[in-house]
Amino acid sequence: MTQGRITRADIEGKLRDMRGEVQETAEAAKAPIMAIAAGVAAVVVIGAFLLGKRRGRRKSTVVEIRRV
């Protein structure tokens, strides 16, 4: 620790160091988060497709043509 007064330069330097650590941590976490988000998006799209396909099959209209 420094003896005496804390200067503006001391505070700015400390904040700059902290910001660098936060940015490094954020960059390290970005790749796994993007992979997880892509996986979740794929599951949601596939789930919506399958549910829509099932509902379409269940509610499909049958047209019967009769000739007299």
Q: Where are the domains of the chain?
A: 1-68
Residue 59 gets which letter from DSSP?
T
The pLDDT value given to residue 39:
96
Residue 6 gets which letter from DSSP?
P
Is residue 24 predicted with pLDDT exceeding 80?
yes
Question: Contact, 18 vs 11, CB < 8 A?
Answer: no
Compute the Cα dihedral for 37, 42, 47, 48 and give only its sign.
positive
> Token pair for residue 6?
């804390």
The pLDDT value given to residue 58:
67
Q: Is 62 helix (H, G, I), strand (E, B) or coil?
A: coil
| pTM over 0.85, yes/no | no
Query: Which alpha helices (H) appear in the chain, and where do they start and end?
Result: 8-58
Is residue 62 predicted with pLDDT exceeding 90?
no
